[in-house]
Structure formats: structure tokens, C-alpha cells
Amino acid sequence: MTKMSHAEALVTAILDSMAADADVVLLGRPLGLGPQRMLMSRLTDRFEDRVYDPPVCEAGNAALGVGAAMAGIRPFVDLSTGSFSFLAFSQIINEAAVSNYMTAGKIPVPVTFHCLEGVRGGGAPQHSQNIHAFVWNTAGLEILAPSCPADMYGLTRAALASNNPTFIMNHAKLMAVEGDVPDDRAAIPIGKADIKRRGKDVTIVALSLMVGLALQAAEELAKEGIDVEVVDPRTLAPLDEETILASVARTGRLVVVDETNMQGSIASGIAGMVAERGFRSLKAAVQRVARPDTPVPFSAPMEAFLLPTHETIMAAVKRTLV
Amino acid sequence: MSAHLSQDARWRLFETMLLMRRFEESVAKMNVEKHFTGHYHLYIGQEATGAPAISLLGPKDSLSTTHRNHGHVIARGADPGGALAEIMGRATGLSGGRGGTIHLTDASLGFLSTSGVVGGSISLGVGGAFARKHRKDGSIHLALFGDSALEEGVAFESLNIASLWKLPIVFLCENNSADSWDRSRGGYTTLTHAANDLRSIPGALGIPSRRVDGCDVEDVHEAMAEAVEACRAGKGPMFIEAMTRRWAGSAPLWPELSTGVTDLRMATGEAAIEGEHSAWYAQNDPVLKLARELLGEGAGARERIFAIDAQVTARMQAAERFAIDSPMPAPETALQHVFA
């Protein structure tokens, strides 16, 4: 194991992918505006001619990656702040995701999109969007949401090796968070959930930044004698429904946590899936933890008021035990 | 006639252009006979742009096209039967009937996925050119699009990237707004742009651009040859605006074969030119125009023109039979190919 931050895991994965495949190119700088951005030199030092700095044009940059992928190379397209990726939705959703389908498999699109999404703190409405739920409604796109450096590394390697368009939803608040990354430097299969904590009383399904909060809630609840299992889907599409259903079959209770607002959230989608496919396992109503349906305000106390916390997750767990 | 194109090259272009024309006549016929439904777009009237431009590409070059793509795909050498079957949603279509007329493409010939979103050929095409440059093998990309593509914001972004990174791409704008009807006449969308000279848009970004007569194979070929050579030499991108005429059948919102099945005897003087479309037959139809020029090639030209037409017509009759006889896809195969 090697301890590294999310940002370092991302850079290491891109570096290893570029070394493994000369067709991997980087369009943009995926490390944001924080101090982690200095890690970019590891990429530019070694692969100066394969790291490009596009103009400020999300649609043009996304189309560049999609067209290049149709022509057979593997671009990693950074869309910077997730909120800006709306400008590139036509390229992501209406070009990349449909090409393999509408050519009967003759023109796959091995492009990887990446953004720093979510409520980053003080971002105000236009820099705080969670976009994974918008994108989740797209058929033909693999959507990855890593919650720890090990998954960041393995899923990025998988994305850059996939023949499908992939979208890495990286949470802005995770970039500095550290964790252990296995030294085998292997890709993590797309479509496989991971049980982050074993437990027998209640299942929490959480993704991305919410996994850490769910684990914190589980530790607190353990002190009260409540044994929680935390399932991290890791990839939203394809979704590992079987691992979620098997966990609910063991616990009989489900809480789903998503940072985005409730309407059309992952929490809602997974709750619906379990209601249909796992109804006989359920001993209590499924609880959803997500933001109220508002934009995200700038002012810190208002922003904090809207966000899921380990306390709101604990309360939801207890509601399943009433 | 200038000496830029050899006699042989002109005859080959005539055969290609006539196949493009007869193909579209078949498409219109298949639609009228209800072999397929839905909106579609015909390339009639622009053959003298697409044929010479595409004839200058090599096997490693890539290209991107638009909703008005049939002529481009045929000019590049796609099988007319497979193309027609695709337009008719048949299992034997080039993409198994999944793309239809709007997304007609042939990956084996270097086409990217065909975007039906206006501006897509430019923006995806710049990606294609980026891949060509990455390969470092001297190959280039040709992006074919209409004048309205330059109304889209992404077109400007993509032209900027192409210019900044000196990508090997020829932007070929087929301006077909002349003779079009605007929306107020119930016609199909035409150019609505504050720039009164489209060349000023790439021009503002430092992309060399020139305008040619899109109804003249010589003019298009000469400009395109120069642009291709510049791109291969690393001096791309290049922009060409080809001025074509809007064929009367593409003026209304729904296409109609308003000028009928092309009668080459109008070029040889054996059939009278009259009626509301006489200006089209006499001056603007690129196929008739080239046929008239070829008649000047000397003895036997007339017979050669009709012999080529007989071959092309027979080929399209076979393509129609193939498409009509082809099965529809099994409905449940709609679940396939979501992922590679």
C-alpha cells in the first residue's frame, strides 16, 4: 500500500495509463485550482507533447475528445468545474453516448470525461452543481464516482482502458483526502460495487463524498449497538444492482445517501430499484438522504443547512429501525 | 475549361456525380413508395462540390458530414445497396438500420459518426483532425457542412482550437442558401447570420479561406487540391466556402423530386428544356453542366455519357432491390450495442 491523496491517485493513474498506451492524451488540467494542481508537472515533465491546454470552451473541448476518440485515440477530457459541463452536454450525451449504438458497434468512442463536481464550499449556485444525476439518465455512458484514492486510481485506469465513453465524477472536496492505494496498480472493473463496511442491521448506499459521511455515521451508530453496512456503488452506470439487493436481503433496511438534490437523484433511483426488485426483503420504508430541491447558496450557514451530514444519515438509519 | 483536371478525372467525377444523383432519386422514390418514413435531406445540386473534394482524399484520411450526407458517403465509395438499406431502416444497412438517413456513415471509409446536430461535423471533425495529427502519418481530415453550421457557437470554439493547434483539417462549407425559401415561405432553414461574408469567421481566427463556385468541378477541385496539400504540409487548417444553389426540391421543409428524374438528354440537346425549372436545367444542375462540358471532349462523348448512365442506373436498380428485399431488424436487437 502507498498513502496518497485523491489528486495524487488521479495523476498517478493518468501517468500509468499514458505510459501503457501511446494513444492516451490529456486535454486540459484535471486538478482544479487548489495546491494539488502543482502535481500536473509529473504529467507535463514526462509527456509534454501529450498534454494540451485547450481554450476556455467546454463544448469545443468535449467535441475534440469525442471526435478524436471516434478516430481511434483515447483522450482524457477535463471539463474543470462540474457545473460547466452543462455546456458540453450535447457532446457527451448526444454524440459520445450514442455513437456505438447508432453504428451497430462500428464506431465506439473511448473518451474519458472528468470534472470536479458537487458542493465545494462557497461555490454559490453556479459552481456547486452535482451533475452525476443529470448524466445518469444517459444510456451508453459509463459513470464513475470514486470515494477514496484506491478507487480513484483503479477506476481512472479502467476508464482510460474502456472502449466506451466514461465520465469520472470527482468530488471537489475529496482532492486533498488521503488514503492507501494498492501497489499492484490494477484497474477496478467498471460495474462492481464495493462494501466499505460490513454490518447486519441496516444498509447504507452512499457514493462519492457521501461514503465518508456514511462510514462516520456507522461508527457513531456502532456505539449505540446498531451495526451498519456501507455499500459504495463506485460506478453509477452500469449500476451493480445485485450487490445492493444482496445487502438489503441481509439487513432488511435501506438508507440511500446522495449529495445532489432529491428530485431525480441517485437516492431516488436506487430507492425505486430496491422497492421493485427487493420489496420482500424490506422490513421498513426506504429512507432517502439528499439535499432539499433548491440551488446551493453562497453563505456558509445556508449552504451547510442543505447538506447531508453524518447526523442526518444517523437519523435516517434510526427511522428504519422504528 | 482550364486544364487543371485531366480528361480521365473529369469522366470519373461525372460517373461519381451521376451515381450520387441517381442514389438520391432512388431515396426520394423509396420515400414516396413508403418504404421508409420520417424526415430526410437530399444532396441534389451539390454534387460538383462533394465529388471533387472527396476524390482528393487518401485511404488514411478521415471525414465528417451532416444530416445532408448521402452524397458524401456515396462519393467516398460506400455500397449504394447498404446505404439505401440503412436509410430504409433495414438490418442489412451500413449501421444495421440504427442510424438511418440522418446518421448515415461508413466507418470502413474513414467517416466519423455522422452527427445530426448542426455544427457537429465541424466540432467532431476537429477531433478527427487532432487524431490525424497524433498519428503523424500525413493524413488529414475533411469536415463537410452547410452554411448554417457557422451559426452554432461550438463551430467558433472548434475553429479556434483548429487554428491554435494548426490541425490538418479542411473545412468545406457548402453554402446552399442561394435560391432557398426562408421560414416565412414555409421553407427549410437558411443562413441567418450577421456576418455578410462567412469567410470572415475563420478569417478572424487566422484560418486562410477562399470562396469557389460550388457548381464547377474545376474550381472546387483546384481549391481543394491546394488546401489538402497545405494541410499535409502542416500548414492547416484551411477553409473553403463553395457557393452552390439550393435545388428546388430541397427548398420546402419536406423534400420532393420537383425537377423529376434527371434526363441527360437535356444536356445533349435531345430533350427540350422548359417549364418553371428551366433555369435549373439550363444553368444550375451540376450533373447536366458537367455532361455538357464532357460533350466537348470530342467524338464518342455522347455515347459514353449514356453508357455510364446505363451502368449507374443498373447499379441503383440492384441497390433498390437489395434494400427492398432486406429484412427489418429483429425488434429485440434494439437492446444491443448500448456499450462496446
DSSP state of B228: H
| Residues of A with Cβ-Cβ distance to B109 under 8 angstroms | none
Report the 10 Å Cβ neighbour count for A121.
14
Residue B338 lies in a domain: no
Tell me whether residue A127 is one of the annotated catalytic residues: yes
At B65, which CATH number?
A: 3.40.50.970
Check residue B28 and give its pLDDT. 97
Q: Which of A127, A132, A171, A310 is catalytic?
A: A127
Residue B333 lies in a domain: no
B91 at interface of A, judged by CB pairs closer than 8 A: no
Check residue A283 and give its pLDDT. 98
A102 at interface of B, judged by CB pairs closer than 8 A: yes
Distance CA B101, CA B205 (A): 33
| Residues of A with Cβ-Cβ distance to B105 under 8 angstroms | 103, 107
What would the grid cell of residue A271 be? 430507492
Check residue B185 and give its pLDDT. 78
Q: Is CATH 3.40.50.970 the classification given to domain A2-181?
A: yes
CB-based contact A101 B337, cutoff 8 Å: yes
Mutate to test the interface with A, among B157, B205, B333, B336 (most CBs of A within 10 A): B157
**pLDDT value at B55 more than 90:** yes
B127 at interface of A, judged by CB pairs closer than 8 A: yes
Let me know if B270 is exposed, middle or buried by CB neighbors in 10 A (0-12, 13-18, 19+).
Answer: exposed
A90 at interface of B, judged by CB pairs closer than 8 A: yes
Report the 10 Å Cβ neighbour count for A36.
18
Provide the CB-side half-sphere exposure for A232 (13 A, CA): 23
| Closest CB from A64, A100, A104 relative to B161 | A64
Q: How far is A43 from chain B (nearest CA, A)?
A: 18
State which amino acid sits at residue A132: H
What stretches of chain A show up as alpha helix (H) in DSSP? 6-20, 40-46, 58-70, 89-91, 97-102, 132-136, 149-161, 209-223, 241-251, 266-277, 300-306, 310-319
A56 at interface of B, judged by CB pairs closer than 8 A: no
Check residue B1 and give its pLDDT. 44
| Residues of A with Cβ-Cβ distance to B335 under 8 angstroms | none
Can you say whether the dihedral through the CA atoms of B89, B90, B91, B94 is positive or negative?
negative
Q: Top-level CATH class of A194-319?
A: alpha beta
Every domain of chain A with CATH number 3.40.50.920 lies at 194-319
Check residue A265 and give its pLDDT. 96
| Residues of B with Cβ-Cβ distance to A55 under 8 angstroms | 157, 160-161, 164
Distance CA A42, CA A2 (A): 17
| Residues of B with Cβ-Cβ distance to A69 under 8 angstroms | 127
What stretches of B136-186 show up as alpha helix (H) in DSSP? 153-164
CB-based contact A103 B339, cutoff 8 Å: no
Q: Are A157 and A186 in contact (CB under 8 A)?
A: yes
Mutate to test the interface with A, among B65, B87, B113 (most CBs of A within 10 A): B113
**pLDDT value at B2 more than 60:** no
- Order of all β-strands in the sheet with A194-197: A194-197, A228-232, A202-206, A254-261, A287-291
Which 211-270 residues of chain A touch chain B by CB within 8 A?
Answer: 238
H or E element at residue B125: helix B120-135
What would the grid cell of residue A61 be? 473541448
CB-based contact A55 B157, cutoff 8 Å: yes
Terminal Cα-to-Cα distance of chain A (whole angstroms): 41
What would the grid cell of residue A287 be? 429512507
DSSP B7-52: HHHHHHHHHHHHHHHHHHHHHHHHHHTTSS-S-----TT-HHHHHH
Every domain of chain A with CATH number 3.40.50.970 lies at 2-181
| Residues of A with Cβ-Cβ distance to B158 under 8 angstroms | 60, 63-64
Q: How far is CA B184 from CA A6, A52, B61, in A?
A: 56, 45, 41
CB-based contact A60 B154, cutoff 8 Å: yes
Please write the tens of the pLDDT for every residue from B104-144. 999 999 999 999 999 999 999 999 999 999 999 999 999 99
Q: Extract the residue ranges of chain A whose pLDDT is less than 50.
A: none
Distance CA A296, CA A290 (A): 13
Residue B335 lies in a domain: no
Residue carrying the nine cell digits 482550437: B161
Check residue B191 and give its pLDDT. 84
Please write the tens of the pLDDT for every residue from B224-275. 999 999 999 999 999 999 999 899 999 888 899 999 999 999 999 999 999 9
B90 at interface of A, judged by CB pairs closer than 8 A: no
Residue B330 lies in a domain: no
Residue B334 lies in a domain: no
Residue B332 lies in a domain: no
Distance CA B207, CA B199 (A): 9
Check residue B3 and give its pLDDT. 56
Q: How far is A160 from chain B (nearest CA, A)?
A: 14
Residue B30 lies in a domain: yes
The mean predicted confidence, pLDDT, of chain B is: 95
Check residue B24 and give its pLDDT. 98
Q: At what angle do helices B217-232 and B47-55 cross, to 10 degrees?
A: 40
Please write the tens of the pLDDT for every residue from A183-211. 999 999 999 999 999 999 999 999 999 99
ipTM for this model: 0.95
What is the tally of structural domains in chain B? 1
Residue B258 lies in a domain: no
